[in-house]
């Protein structure tokens, strides 16, 4: 979500040559970082280049802007502790600065980073940081409507509203991104998340239309292909078009395996496999469901802990349905032993256990 640079006019060797020659131009570092960030598997190289740029003789606001940007990127590659440290440094860097669009943007990005990092483990802290992020970003949008990076302010504000499950406002802001930044790369990203916001409001026809529009321009950034298919699959599933959803989720998984996902591809694959598992389970294809859920499981415990116990329970049901009684018992007992499983999940596990044949008595020798 960082502001884009004119990286199309230069290539990686030229930028590296300039930097190795001692370039003091911040734009060289940002352009190279963007090129690396856009190359699947090289995101961390891009972060390192931005961190190197922080050693340049920068003004206080330039350094804070760089720290905020690095913090966000660190969050996106899952380095939460480093992301939070960088975000806090950026906030400290503008603490005594008078209000300006740049200062408000640093505050908004940094607070958004903290809100997202806190989200899995501390919802109260996440909510507090998200509220501060919205305050800064909405103030920027309201007071500086002609600022050069307004599209990025819209984009970050939309993302925070999305985190707060404020889908109407998020959707309106993504529409503003489409209006203010006509580039196809920006359009792909905005259409994907607009489709998500519409789906979250139950507007399935509109969501499908936006996502198919994103497919039409995905050549501008093919890394979004898996995300588009994934979002489209969810829309089709909710529209009770299960056969179509199954095909589209399969396309999403193929694209994710090809590493054409912008960021967080491990969690993406886990989500897709979980969706496929549910579709197979609902169709009583328990063997296929078992394989899909088992594929999702290693990443669910880390990225979607709320789904982990549900998945273990469903794996127990799959094993029960396919006659794998010992494995079913293990899964049900894991649910009962879990401190994260809900009361309903534990009741379902006990019911599953009651349907298993009794254990054979131990033989005495």
In a domain, 251, yes or no: no
Query: Is residue 300 situated within a structural domain?
Result: yes
Q: Furthest-apart CA pair in the chain: how many Å?
A: 86
Is the pLDDT at 114 greater than 60, yes or no? yes
The CATH number covering residue 273 comes to 1.25.40.10
Span 135-193, pLDDT tens digits: 999 999 999 999 999 999 999 999 999 999 999 999 999 999 999 998 888 999 999 99
* 287: pLDDT strictly greater than 90: yes
Distances (CA, A) of 340 to 305, 328, 344: 8, 19, 12
**Does residue 333 lie within any of the structural domains?**
yes
Tens digit of each residue's pLDDT (9 = 90 or more) over 8-53: 446 888 888 888 888 888 788 888 888 887 776 777 788 888 888 8
Distance between CA 167 and CA 182 in Å, rounded? 22
Average pLDDT over residues 316-326: 95
Q: Is residue 103 part of a domain?
A: no
Mean pLDDT of 306-329: 93
Q: Which residue has the higher pLDDT, 35 or 359?
A: 35
In the chain, the number of structural domains is 1
Q: Please tell me the predicted confidence (pLDDT) of residue 258.
A: 55
User: Above pLDDT 90, what percent of the chain?
Assistant: 63
pLDDT in tens, 255-280: 886 554 444 566 788 889 999 999 99
| pTM of the predicted protein model | 0.82
Query: Is residue 321 one of the residues assigned to a domain?
Result: yes
Q: Which domain holds residue 337?
A: 264-356
Q: Could you identify the residue written with the tokens 């959707």?
A: 171
In a domain, 304, yes or no: yes
- Residue 207: predicted pLDDT: 98
What is the reported pLDDT for 10? 63
CA atoms within 13 A on the CB side of 27: 7
147 domain-assigned: no
């Amino acid at each position: 979500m960082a502001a884009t640079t004119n990286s199309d006019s230069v290539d990686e060797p030229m930028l590296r040559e300039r930097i190795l020659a001692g370039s003091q131009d911040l734009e060289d570092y940002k352009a190279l970082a963007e090129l690396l960030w856009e190359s699947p598997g090289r995101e961390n190289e891009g972060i390192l280049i931005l961190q190197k740029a922080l050693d340049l003789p920068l003004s206080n606001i330039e350094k804070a802007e760089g720290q905020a940007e690095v913090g966000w990127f660190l969050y996106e590659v899952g380095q939460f502790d480093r992301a939070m440290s960088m975000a806090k440094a950026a906030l400290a860097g503008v603490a005594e600065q008078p209000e300006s669009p740049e200062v408000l943007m640093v505050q908004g990005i940094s607070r958004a980073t903290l809100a997202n990092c806190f989200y899995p483990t501390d919802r109260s802290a996440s909510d507090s940081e998200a509220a501060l992020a919205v305050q800064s970003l909405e103030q920027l949008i309201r007071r500086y409507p002609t600022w050069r990076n307004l599209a990025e302010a819209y984009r970050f504000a939309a993302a925070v509203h999305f985190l707060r499950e404020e889908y109407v406002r998020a959707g309106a802001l993504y529409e503003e991104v489409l209006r203010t930044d006509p580039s196809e790369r920006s359009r792909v990203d905005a259409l994907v998340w607009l489709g998500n916001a519409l789906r979250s409001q139950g507007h399935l026809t509109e969501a499908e239309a936006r996502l198919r529009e994103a497919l039409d321009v995905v050549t501008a950034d093919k890394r979004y292909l898996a995300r588009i298919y994934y979002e489209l699959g969810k829309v089709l599933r909710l529209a009770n078009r299960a056969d179509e959803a199954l095909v589209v989720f399969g396309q999403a998984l193929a694209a994710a395996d090809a590493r054409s996902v912008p960021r967080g591809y491990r969690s993406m694959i886990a989500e897709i496999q979980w969706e496929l598992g549910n579709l197979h389970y609902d169709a009583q294809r328990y063997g296929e469901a078992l394989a899909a859920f088992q594929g999702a499981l290693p990443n669910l415990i880390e990225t979607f802990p709320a789904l982990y116990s549900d998945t273990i329970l469903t794996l127990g049901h799959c094993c029960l349905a396919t006659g794998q009684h010992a494995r079913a018992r293990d899964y049900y007992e894991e649910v009962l032993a879990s401190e994260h499983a809900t009361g309903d999940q534990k009741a379902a596990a006990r019911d599953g256990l009651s349907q298993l044949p009794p254990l054979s008595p131990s033989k005495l020798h």
